Amino acid sequence: MKKRITLLFVLLLAFSLAACGQKIDTPSEKKESGESPALNLERISIVTGGTGGTYYPLGGEMAKIVGKELDVEANSQSSGASVENMQLLQDGDADIAFTQTDIASYAVEGKEMFKEKVDQVTGIGTLYPETVQIVTLKDSGIKSVEDLKGKKVSVGAPGSGTFANAEQILKVHGITMEDIDAQHLSFDESTEGIQDGNIQAAFITAGTPTGAVDALSATNPVTVVPIADDKIKELIDTHPYYIEDTVKSGTYKLEADVKTVAVLSMLTVRKDMDEEAVYQITKAIFENVDKISHAKGELISAEKAVEGMGIDFHPGAKKYFEEKGILK
């Protein structure tokens, strides 16, 4: 009888120790103990946009925050921005990507520049307005969108988000790509072209102030072409992902506010990424926006991040916003 009791005690003790050995620390427990959160990831890659835009510097700051908060290797890299980024996620060549809300919607629906549905893209959250800026020199004589007719105008790469914005804005003004001398340049190439006199204007869709335009305004008086109220209304009625926006006076040394439109920028993530990993990444970013030194950091918040999404949240991001009481 004693042997049976002893054997039973040993078995119970072994079972108890095994159960304890299977305990999985939560990320907060691991952080307190000096260990990395169990993200099931060796590294996190963030694709952004061209070096002259807003995505690139902002992505670099977010990578630093995620890397520090989660104690993982996180890096950001430049790319062709919104459209290319959707394909990079689809192909598994990136974990997180910046994009515009309109482009994300086109991607998952298989519309516009996407011939097939992109089924590996889900949302983390929206960030800030991506302002459509029609940039030209102050002495160019271009005062309205109609004045672009017959001019050399950079409209972004074919199939890019900027190209789609340019095409839609021109259309509500009764203008087609054939009515202008369309050039397909990056933001940096566009502002260099304006400065050198090779082009007269450029469509630039990015958060303001945009680095490339700031650099141009440092040496040349620039202006941003306004969009009339009735055209803004027509554009929003036709394409609901647009919002009315303003380039504030003082930006690029502008003497007055300029009315235009914007879409929202957003962070997207691969659909097959681990739920806990995306939860921790989302939390790290939106609870440390005060550490973002870029001007756009002031516009980013967890409360605003659920607005205008247009595509499904990743379950990990959804979990974070539900815990915060922002999503019901």
Q: What is the pLDDT of residues 38-73, one digit of tens each?
A: 566 779 999 999 888 889 999 999 999 999 999 999
Mean per-residue pLDDT, 149-156: 97
> CA-based angle 46:213:134, to the nearest 5?
100
CB 191 within 8 A of CB 212: yes
pLDDT at 40: 66
Is residue 179 over pLDDT 60?
Answer: yes
CB 46 within 8 A of CB 95: yes
Q: Domain 38-128+265-323 adopts which CATH fold?
A: D-Maltodextrin-Binding Protein; domain 2 (3.40.190)
Mean pLDDT, the chain, rounded, equals 89
Percent of the chain with pLDDT over 90: 75
Where do we find the tokens 């504030």?
A: 248
Where do we find the tokens 């005690």?
A: 9
Count of CB atoms within 10 A of residue 78's CB? 16
Q: CB-hemisphere CA count at 13 Å for 153? A: 29
Mind listing the pLDDT tens digit for each residue in 220-239? 999 999 999 999 999 999 88
Local confidence band at 159 (pLDDT 50, 70, 90 cut-offs): confident
Helices and strands (H and E) in the chain: how many:
11, 10
Domain regions of the chain by residue span? 38-128+265-323, 130-263
Entry field: residues in the chain: 328
pTM confidence score: 0.74
CATH topology of 38-128+265-323 equal to that of 130-263? yes
Helix (H, G, I), strand (E, B) or coil at 29: helix
Mean per-residue pLDDT, 178-204: 97
- To the question of domain 130-263 being in CATH 3.40.50.720, the answer is no
